[in-house]
Structure formats: C-alpha cells, structure tokens
A and B are shown apart, each in its own frame.
Chain A
Amino acid sequence: MKEKPVFEEDLRKLQKIVDELSSGKLTLGESLKRYEEGVKIAQACSSTLGEAQRKVELLMKKDGKFSLEKFDDTDEGEEA
C-alpha cells in the first residue's frame, strides 16, 4: 500500500518551495538548496504516480474477520 499522507505532504511541500523560489526573496545559496529539494520531490511524486505495480484484491469477510484474495483481472488474454 502506498503512503498517501507522504505523497500529499510532498505535494504541499513542493508547492511551498515553488512559491518561495518564485518570490525571488531567497539568497542564491538558499535558492539552490530549495531548488534541489523541489526537483527531488517532484521526481519522487511523478514516479509514484507513474508506478505500474498495482494490486487487485478481493476483500472477503468470514466470521467477522477480513481476508484478502487475489483477484484475476486479466482481460481478453491481453496479458498472460
């Protein structure tokens, strides 16, 4: 399971960095630091969204207990 709170926090951070940097009020040293941080976060967020490993599961409940079963969603022989 992905860490949604981290992702959302990252996006907020990124937005803040963009705002700070575009304000033009930072020193060159600060700018470089923020820029580096921002680029790193942007890449991390993009790659999270670009990830192609997904799980498809069936949620089962027996005697009040949850269990997960693999759900086969391969379609029309598109994938083996």
Chain B
Amino acid sequence: MQTTYLNQAATSFPKPREVVEAFLAWFDAPPVDAGRGGDIAADPITPCRRELAALLGVDDHKRIVLLPSATYAINLVIGALVGPGSHVVTSTLEHNSVLRPIAHRERDLGATVTSIQPDPDGTLQARTLAGALRSTTALVALTHASNVTGSIQPIAELAETAAAAGVPLLVDASQTAGAVPIDHRHLAGRVFLAFSGHKGLLGPPGVGGLVVPDDGLPQTVVGGTGVRSDAVFHPGDLPLRHEAGTPNLPGIAGLTAGVRVVGRTGVETIGRHRAHLVGRLRSGLSGLGHVRLFPLAADDGRVGVVSFQIAGWEPDEVGFVLRESFGIEVRTGLHCAPHALRGLTGGPGGSIRVSVGLPSSEADVSSFLAAIASLGEH
C-alpha cells in the first residue's frame, strides 16, 4: 500500500532529489578537513551558513551556528542564560524542547517560571508578556508557531516587549523556518533563533541551528574544533564558539541543498501552498459532523498544521487506523507539547494533527478527507 505522508510538521518527506544527492555525494569523496581551515572550494559548511543567513535575514553568516537540532540549540541558550534564581517566561504553547530544559533548570537550580497563555485565537499577546516580566527575568522563550495548533505568534511585537525590558528572547522557529518569512535583523533586542533543518528547510534529520545576536552567549559545549589545537580553551569567536566536535557534514550538505530549494521556490510561495492545502483540509473537515476542529486564523495556514478530534474515536486509534487501513501517516497525541491543547480541550486530551508542506499535494488532501469521512460512517 502506498503511503500518503501528512506528517510534514514532524519531518519533511519526501526530501527533494537535490537534498538526497547532496547528502549521498558526501560519502563519495574523501572528507577534506571537516570544512575547517581546509580547501575553500571543498568547504561544505560556509555555503550552508550563507544560504541560511540569506533566508533568515541575518547580516553575518558567522552568526549561524550549526548544531544537531533545534532542541540542541534551545538547550544551549537556556543552559547558558538560566541560572540559579533566574526567572524565565515561556508559554503554554511550547514544545518539550523548550519546556523540559526549563523544567530541569527549575528543578535543579531553583529557577522560577511564568508560563503565559494565548488568547482564545491561539495568539500570545505582547501585553500578556509584558505583565509576566520581572526584574529577575533572564530569558523569554517562545515559539514562533505552535506545532499543535499552527498559530503564528507576533514575534516582532513580542521581541519589542522583551527588548524594552532588556531581556533576551529565544524564538523556537522549528515550524516556521522555510514556511514563514523571518527577518532576524529587524527583530528588536537580543534575539536567539533556533531552527530545525529537517522540517520546512527540507534537509535531512540530525542538523539544525541557532542564530545568535552576538558573541556574548556563554559557552556550554566545548571541545575539539579542528583549529587552534594549541589553545587551552575553546575558540571564543563565532561560529566556532558554540560548535564542538566533528560536524554532521553529510547532513549539512543536505541542508544546504534544502535551503537552496526553499530559496529558489520562495518562502512566500511555500507558505501560500501550505495555506491553500490547510484551507482545503479545514473546509473539508468542518463539513463532517463527527469532527471537532480547533480554531486557526486564516493566515496561519502557512504553518501547514490542522488539529482536530473525532467523536467516538481516540486520537491514537485514528492514527492506527489511518496508517494501517488507509496508508495515511499523521501524528496523534500531545505532539510533545503537553499544555498546548488544554485551553481548547479543557484537559490533557490529545488531537489528530495533519500537516502539509512543500511536498504535499491536492491528492494527498483528498485521500485524507475521504478517509476521515469514512470514520464517521457507522
């Protein structure tokens, strides 16, 4: 049975041919100095930084730190900035990649946490953030878009609010990089932006990164870099400041190709494609009496996520039936964001999340809607 893949918010599939070829090509030639201080023409890392800097509106490509994942990037920032007695502001929309590092700082170091809630439309308001800030606030950590509801946050306004209080902002752009325009240079204040390489950027898993606003983030992971081996301490300049160990070179080569596909296609074009498919999904689902669809602003369809429940069916059961009986892959449950649906469901219940991306087609959506309609026929 052919699989209809509608779990693009987890990871994009299928990867563009260019990504697969770039990834595999790395294994066909001897590695040259791991891209550090070696042949410029054979350096796979700097082009990746340049492509990402152009896509994310970053002035200097050296402020793109390449890491194993967005989760790793988020941990770097939280680990460095949230110390004993620190106060952190985050939100109920966050993924565990944000919630858990903060929870560990709370448990282990006595950090305190304020979790702000979105308005009923799913949006975090700047005024809500302003009310949560304290003199001891060391970091604001917020998602750019919920991976559960798809709601896009007014990140420019939130950045202004954090900047006005002199507090750094960490933005989790895992769901938006490659799907929603991001212009880091125009975000006010000290903004760290974590991104995933294998979702909207179409790269392979195992590579992501962090945009850093300056070279002031304390180092938490240090070690070998392939350069300046005679120095006692890890280099302090960007981007090596936060990169230790042999990088994921085939992953970076694949990510570079993915970012080029995104750049060539255009983020706004991709966003329109996603929004169109989300519009079809929402329209189709809203006509089914057994479906409870969670609200979403029309413009937020660019994230590509639709969350819903079905009367008489547990989300996990729907996931099982879609996979095993219909050959459709979606995500069910809490989506690693355990508080995101509480305001909508009134409890810890999960949802069925269908998510589309650049590779998704009209036929995928039609197959999915027909399957969900079938579930109501009893």
Q: Do A and B originate from a single complex? A: no
Residue numbers of B with Cβ under 8 A of A are none
A→B interface (CB under 8 Å): none
